[in-house]
Amino acid sequence: MLTLAIMLPFAAAVLLAFVPASPRVSRAIAIATAALSLLALVVVWIGFSPGQGFHAMLEIPWIPALGVAWRVGVDGISLSLALMSGLLFVAAIAWPMDREFNARQYYAWFLFLEGASLGLFLTLDLLVFYVFFDLSLVGMYFLIGRWGHGQAQRSALKFFLYTLVGSLLILLAIIALVLMTDPLTFDMRELIATQPVAGMDLRAGLILLGFVIGFAIKTPLFPVHTWLPPAHVDAPGPASAILAGVLLKMGTYGLVRIPMQMMRETFATWALALAIVALISILWGSIVAFAQENLKRRIAYTSVNHMGYAVLGIAVAGSALTGHEAARELALTGAVVEMVAHGLITGALFLIAGAFWARAQDYDLAHYGGLAGSAPRLMAVTWLASFASLGLPGLAGFVAEVQIFIGAFAVWPWIAAIGLLGLIVTAALFLGMLQRLFFGERPPALDEFTDLTWSELGILAAVLVLVVLIGVWPAWLLDLIGAGTALTIGGG
């Protein structure tokens, strides 16, 4: 079933790449495929009982000499992220294109990207993980470069270069880690169980450094986040939503799955350093976002801030081998909820930004104002998404952040205290943004500004309903994640 969820988009992408189809047919095929993929994941979810290692596993040998195989399987963390990605892909594909040309190729690349993203979350083989990690770069590169606007090629290349550095460092670290096993195996379950670098000092530290830098670039953390704003600003709206909602999660997911689970001891040694980097990202992301005059750049920098929370949660969770179990568990759950919530919320925000661009070809906040009267539906969803993003109680972001901060207070109170400042700045910047978009004088250039169409509204509603649902009744998601077992036996 998991293999089906990964392979369907790839197959449809190949189909669209070679079979001439009209834009409408391509769009229909793409939406149907993404929906089927999501359906396959939901089927897995229905049969899922948390807390017992990996589920829905399948293993087909590929390169036996190196211990590489097609291995898929999910635990609570990967399943929740995959479900979120599947949903976001349906939304992004269904969202109308920014610039209507070459629809067939556009949808083919989107499906290709979906296959790679789902594959990354669902695989249990490190090499296959890396393969999908790289493929996601290729898919995003072509989407930004071809269908973006502004300096799209430049931004796409910057994105590709930065993240390729990261992914190759990860590859080296993976190889160094795997070479510790005998016989060679890239099986994640095996690596989690055997902890191949336990008891080594320098070598384990270097491997950890490779992983952390690689995933930090993808996440992104300060100071390697600089590829993110241009990539977002120039990408088409739906691609931005995927970039923020799904691709950034690859960094944090990788951080949980590989260094935290496979190198527990080394990770614990360096957890404080990682937490400090996360703290800087939280503050830096929110302060810089506050200063942005460009709508999309502002949202992009809040991603740096939010992913900082997620990494802080991960650092807290991996901070020790024993002690503070409850707090660490809480922090990890919080981090995963943050990933899911941020994916949904920021995905919605970027789709909304796409709607602004589609109507006015402009992201400059100074050129907007007074839209409350002419676009009430747009205002409603923007308010909802922004409040969710700044962590209003009753919405998904709050559930995540509260757990992360409670966990962090137990382990490193001072980091948690400083990190709270980020929340205040974020609240200020979102409120300021809303005010400038919707209130005040409406510039004459915006007289023609139309409200959201019903299909756009429907897509956003589907995403935001979940945000509210997680906010008011998080139990189902927390059960699904079941972080406790991930800390001790790996998987869960």
Residues 6+ apart with CB under 8 A from 201: none
Other Cβ atoms closer than 10 A to 293: 12
The residue within the footprint of another protein, chosen from 58, 165, 213, 272 (CB under 8 A), is: 165
Please, what is the minimum distance in Å from the beta carbon of residue 418 to another protein? 34
The C-alpha atoms of residue 29 and residue 31 are separated, in whole angstroms, by: 6
Whole-angstrom Cα Rg for the chain: 21
Q: How many residues does the chain have?
A: 492
Question: Considering the rule CB under 8 A, would residue 150 count as an interface residue with another protein?
Answer: no
Please, what is the minimum distance in Å from the beta carbon of residue 175 to another protein? 5
Please, what is the minimum distance in Å from the beta carbon of residue 17 to another protein? 9
Nearer to another protein, 112 or 290 (CB): 112
What are the backbone dihedrals phi and psi of residue 272, each rounded to the nearest 5 degrees, phi first? -65, -40
Residue 365-394 contact track with another protein, rule CB under 8 A, x = bound: ------------------------------
The residue within the footprint of another protein, chosen from 51, 53, 59, 153 (CB under 8 A), is: 153
Residues 6+ apart with CB under 8 A from 218: 133, 163, 166, 167, 247, 248, 250, 251, 254
The residue within the footprint of another protein, chosen from 58, 176, 392, 469 (CB under 8 A), is: 176
Nearer to another protein, 173 or 467 (CB): 173
Nearer to another protein, 66 or 427 (CB): 66
For another protein (CB under 8 A), the number of binding residues is 31
Q: Which of 299, 182, 286 is nearest to 237 (CA)?
A: 299
Structure-block tokens of residue 339: 């990933």
Residues 6+ apart with CB under 8 A from 376: 451
Question: Considering the rule CB under 8 A, would residue 157 count as an interface residue with another protein?
Answer: yes
Please, what is the minimum distance in Å from the beta carbon of residue 261 to another protein? 22
Nearer to another protein, 65 or 475 (CB): 65
For the segment 30-89, give every residue that binds another protein (CB under 8 A). Answer: 61-66, 68
Residue with tokens 């999501």: 38
Please, what is the minimum distance in Å from the beta carbon of residue 32 to another protein? 25
Q: Which of 131, 9, 134, 118 is nearest to 68 (CA)?
A: 131
Query: Per residue in 403-422, is it b (16+ CB within 10 Å) or e — as a string?
Result: bbbbbbbbbbeebbeebeeb
Please, what is the minimum distance in Å from the beta carbon of residue 479 to another protein? 35
Question: Which string of DSSP letters, residue by residue, matches 244-272?
Answer: IIIIHHHHHHHHIIIIIHHSHHHHHHHHH
Please, what is the minimum distance in Å from the beta carbon of residue 130 to another protein? 7
The C-alpha atoms of residue 316 and residue 308 are separated, in whole angstroms, by: 12
The residue within the footprint of another protein, chosen from 25, 168, 446, 469 (CB under 8 A), is: 168
4 CA to centre of own chain: 22
For the segment 87-146, give every residue that binds another protein (CB under 8 A). Answer: 127, 130-131, 134-135, 138, 142, 145-146
Structure-block tokens of residue 164: 């390729």
Please, what is the minimum distance in Å from the beta carbon of residue 176 to another protein? 6
Q: Which of 462, 305, 439 is nearest to 385 (CA)?
A: 462
Nearer to another protein, 31 or 66 (CB): 66
Nearer to another protein, 171 or 335 (CB): 171
Please, what is the minimum distance in Å from the beta carbon of residue 77 to another protein? 24
Which residues would be at the binding site for another protein (CB under 8 A)? 61-66, 68, 127, 130-131, 134-135, 138, 142, 145-146, 152-153, 156-157, 160-161, 164-165, 168-169, 171-172, 175-176, 179
